[in-house]
Amino acid sequence: VTAAGPRAPAGFFSAVYAAVRAIPAGRVATYGQVARVLGKPRGARAVGWALRALAGARERAVPWHRVVAAGGRISLPEGPAAERQRRLLRAEGVRLRQGRVDMGRHGMPA
DNA sequence: CCTATGACCGTGA
DNA sequence: CTCACGGCCATAG
């Protein structure tokens, strides 16, 4: 990732990826939930940052598509990326409602 | 150290 | 329901 300084929480990225990898197929979590699991209740944005930086080779090692915005909305801008995420989710049996994930059915249990 | 940016979130109009 | 605003976190320059 980046030259993590002495106190730089490079582990943050790893922690994010680990948490995301922990999300079982067919289930989705919000950025906020992931942040909460990491002990950063208000670090949802940072989680998004980590996933964004993930784009590339590691994208296949981390099920980034299982992370959506609050309310099951796709946070990615409409386009190829958003469509890809929906496709991957559907492939796992996730039900989409008007482009949004049915959180009541697939949301991660607190 | 300070400013700017972003795959966020909750609240209020 | 949609739109705008402010707050939070981590990173890059």
How many angstroms separate the CA atoms of A23 and A67, rounded? 9
Bases along strand C below 7 A from a protein CB: 7-12
Residue A83 pLDDT: 95
pLDDT at A2: 44
Chain A residues 19 to 58 with C-beta below 7 Å from nucleic strand B: 30-32, 44-49, 51-52, 54-55
Convert the pLDDT of each residue in A66-89 to its tens digit. Answer: 999 999 999 999 999 999 999 999
Angle among Cα A19, A45, A81 to the nearest 5 degrees reads 80
Give the mean pLDDT per block of 10 residues along chain A (110 residues): 45 93 97 96 96 84 96 94 95 96 92
**Residue-level pLDDT at A55:** 80
Distance A66 CA to C4 C1' (A): 28
- Cα separation of A71 and A85, whole Å? 16
Secondary structure (DSSP) of A68-99 = EBGGGB--SPTTHHHHHHHHHHHHTT--EETT
Helix (H, G, I), strand (E, B) or coil at A28: strand
Q: Could you tell me the distance in Å between the CA of residue A90 and the C1' of nucleotide C7? A: 34
Structure tokens of A16?
Answer: 């994010």
